[in-house]
Copies of this chain bind each other. A is one copy, B any other.
Amino acid sequence: VIATALILAGGSGTRFWPASRRRRPKQFLALEGERTLLQATVDRLLPLVPPERIWISTTTELVAEVRRQLPRLASERILAEPCGRNTAPAIAWALQKMPEEARRGAVAVLPSDHRIGDADAFRAALELAFGGALASDRVVALGVLPRWAEVGFGYLELDSTGADASGLRRVVRFREKPDRATAERFVASGRHLWNAGMFVFRGTVLLAHVERFAPELAAGLAAIAAEPAREAELYAQLPAVSIDVAVMEKLDSLATLPLDCGWDDLGSWQALFEVLSPDAAGNRRRGAAVAVDARDNLLVAESGTIAVLGVEGLVVVRSGDAVLVLPRERAQEVRRIVERLEAEGRLDLL
């Protein structure tokens, strides 16, 4: 089986500020272990996909750091988009850059900023998906068995029939981020999976879907192929749209493989708290931290030392020139600090 991985590493975000910054988004952070999320994404593929079949899509701003973090990957397979235009252009453009052989084979599109606790289970599912996508010429979404009624994710709704001979199930439809009651119904139904943004397909099949469902994008890519010298200019004119919206939600034939591999999108400091191991007082620590009479805090010192006394349920982060302190249950509100810093012109901190 010729199987290729395309890792999307062009994202940015503020949820892990101050550890994450504009030039240092979440995929570049070693939140849990010694390896960054990007490095861990490559590491867990290697037993299944050789390095010469791993491609990275990132941005011009981030490409130098991607190369630094992944010295084993040849730099011609680390693609820098001229500018960020969301995932549909990024994926289609990368497929266009691949050699014909790779494009005709199975391709897995994978985010670079998620956690996967059980790499063996992940690879087993991925291997099934590679085979299923090639055998059926369908797009296969790796959907995650929901572990709670999350309102922050989209869901894949399965049909009521079982798996086919390849182990694939059919997706009836995409469901947008639900409200609490709907999410609870989804989880109770046993017929909904979290959309984790992981897809496997034959490259040529996906490009055919792009031609059908996103003709403007297909035309733009054709224009780039015809005039490579104008690539940056033409790329900037591609419609900025996600692959979910441009293609996946429109497919009748979308298949899925339910995945149970300790997946977590690590969407906030609170999510990191939940995956780290507690000490005797329930504190989770990364780096040097001293806790006296303090419980259930997340203490992250990228450098230096954090000392806390008599506090409970806080997030305390020391990263570079900044310190963050907020209650764990308000970890989602980090963006309000980032917005304040933007408003105050403190771009040096972003």
Could you tell me which A residues sit within 8 Å of B by CB distance?
18, 290, 292-293, 301, 303-311, 314, 316, 318, 320-327, 330, 333-334, 336-337, 340-341, 344, 346, 349
Contacts and interface: CB of A to CB of B under 8 A. Distances in A.
Contact of A309 (B18, B305, B334): B334
Contacts of A349: 305
A97 B246 CA distance: 86
A13 B316 CA distance: 26
Nearest to A310: B330
A308 B324 CA distance: 6
B309 A316 contact: no
B314 A311 contact: yes
B321 A305 contact: yes
8 contacts: A290-B337, A290-B344, A304-B320, A307-B324, A307-B340, A314-B325, A318-B318, A325-B325
Contacts of A307: 18, 322-325, 337, 340-341
B290 A310 contact: no
Contact of A292 (B301, B309, B318, B337): B337
A39 B318 CA distance: 31
Contacts of A318: 318, 323
Given A292-B336, A292-B337, A326 B311 contact: yes
Contacts of A303: 321
A320 B18 CA distance: 17
Nearest to A329: B310
A321 B304 contact: yes
B305 A327 contact: no
Contacts of A18: 307
A285 to B, nearest CB: 13
A112 B324 CA distance: 33
Nearest to A290: B340
Contacts of A334: 309
A336 B323 contact: no
